[in-house]
């Protein structure tokens, strides 16, 4: 039995669930209460953060590693861009920038009261650098790196969604029209709506 310990609204868990669902891996999803993390999960991964995937006694506790494991099982629409070395490099670069740089700005923008050194608007402007880059990548195509979804789109989308939702009215009035369309396409997709259904605790 393959088990995923997840939290519905966590962006890291979202991207792991999307990859697992897309690849067709049968997985039991355990919805975790962050205030009362299950002992079974903590026994598997002392980090205490979701997502955690257990596959026949083997544990993967990084969302990107879970995504890559799922795509290694089955990648029917070539999310990995397996015949495009330049594309694979761009996937890695975009995800690293998202996870190491944009996520910092997102946290400070979303929880600005915890970071009183600067204003909320300051943190938003810092995050916009990445939004602008993504919007430019979407010129002439529906997805970031190819004419179809790649690993980069799915790995980044939950974080862009979170940034957009801090102030939806602001995001809707930005010039990042291509990015708005890209995000909405994901939000409306069968893949995203399926992984966001509320499971029992």
Domain at 117, CATH number: 1.20.1050.10
Q: Mark whether 113 and 60 lie in a shared domain.
A: no
What pLDDT score was predicted for residue 43? 85
Q: Mark whether 64 and 150 lie in a shared domain.
A: no
Query: In this structure, is residue 143 part of a structural domain?
Result: yes
Query: In this structure, is residue 200 part of a structural domain?
Result: no
Query: In this structure, is residue 192 part of a structural domain?
Result: no
Domain boundary among 41, 76, 111: 76
Q: Mark whether 94 and 61 lie in a shared domain.
A: no
What pLDDT score was predicted for residue 57? 84
Domain boundary among 76, 102, 120: 76
89: domain range?
Answer: 85-187
Q: Mark whether 183 and 99 lie in a shared domain.
A: yes
What pLDDT score was predicted for residue 48? 82
Q: Give yes or no for a contact between 183 and 161, defined as CB atoms under 8 angstroms apart.
A: yes
Q: Mark whether 72 and 101 lie in a shared domain.
A: no
Q: Mark whether 92 and 70 lie in a shared domain.
A: no
Q: Residues in the chain with pLDDT < 70?
A: 199-201
Q: Mark whether 150 and 91 lie in a shared domain.
A: yes
What pLDDT score was predicted for residue 200? 62
Question: pTM here?
Answer: 0.95
Domain boundary among 56, 76, 96: 76
What pLDDT score was predicted for residue 42? 79
Query: In this structure, is residue 147 part of a structural domain?
Result: yes
- CATH code, 48: 3.40.30.10
Q: Mapped to the 3 state alphabet, what secondary structure does the chain carry? A: CEEEEECCCCHHHHHHHHHHHHHCCCCEEEECECCECCHHHHHHCCCCCCCEEEECCEEECCHHHHHHHHHHHCCCCCCCCCCCHHHHHHHHHHHHHHHHHHHHHHHHHHCHHHCCCCCHHHHHHHHHHHHHHHHHHCCCCCCCCCCCCCHHHHHHHHHHHHHHHHCHHHHHCCCCHHHHHHHHHHHCCHHHHHHCCCCCC
Q: Mark whether 174 and 91 lie in a shared domain.
A: yes
Q: Mark whether 92 and 39 lie in a shared domain.
A: no
**Adjacent-strand bridge partners of 2:** 55
What pLDDT score was predicted for residue 186? 98
Q: Mark whether 97 and 176 lie in a shared domain.
A: yes
What pLDDT score was predicted for residue 38? 85
Q: Mark whether 124 and 171 lie in a shared domain.
A: yes
Query: In this structure, is residue 195 part of a structural domain?
Result: no
Provide the domain count of the chain.
2
Q: Mark whether 172 and 110 lie in a shared domain.
A: yes
Query: In this structure, is residue 163 part of a structural domain?
Result: yes
What pLDDT score was predicted for residue 84? 97
138-146 — which CB contacts under 8 Å span 24+ positions?
138/178, 138/179, 138/181, 138/182, 139/178, 142/182, 142/185, 143/182, 144/94, 144/182, 145/81, 145/87, 145/90, 145/91, 145/94, 146/81, 146/84, 146/87
Query: In this structure, is residue 55 part of a structural domain?
Result: yes
């Amino acid at each position: 039995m393959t088990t995923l310990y997840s939290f519905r609204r966590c962006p890291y868990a979202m991207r792991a669930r999307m990859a697992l669902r897309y690849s067709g891996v049968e997985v039991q999803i355990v919805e975790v209460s962050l205030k009362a993390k299950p002992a079974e999960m903590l026994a598997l991964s002392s980090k205490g953060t979701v997502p955690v995937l257990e596959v026949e006694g083997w544990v993967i506790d990084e969302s990107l590693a879970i995504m890559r494991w799922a795509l290694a099982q089955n990648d029917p629409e070539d999310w990995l861009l397996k015949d495009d070395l330049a594309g694979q490099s761009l996937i890695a670069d975009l995800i690293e920038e998202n996870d190491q740089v944009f996520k910092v700005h997102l946290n400070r923008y979303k929880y600005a009261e915890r970071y009183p050194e600067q204003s909320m608007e300051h943190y938003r402007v810092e995050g916009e650098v990445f939004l602008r880059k993504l919007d430019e990548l979407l010129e002439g195509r529906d997805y970031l790196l190819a004419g179809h979804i790649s690993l980069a789109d799915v790995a980044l989308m939950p974080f862009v969604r979170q940034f957009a939702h801090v102030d939806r009215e602001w995001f809707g009035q930005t010039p990042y029209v291509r990015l708005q369309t890209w995000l909405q396409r994901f939000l409306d997709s069968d893949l995203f709506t399926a992984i966001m259904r509320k499971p029992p605790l």
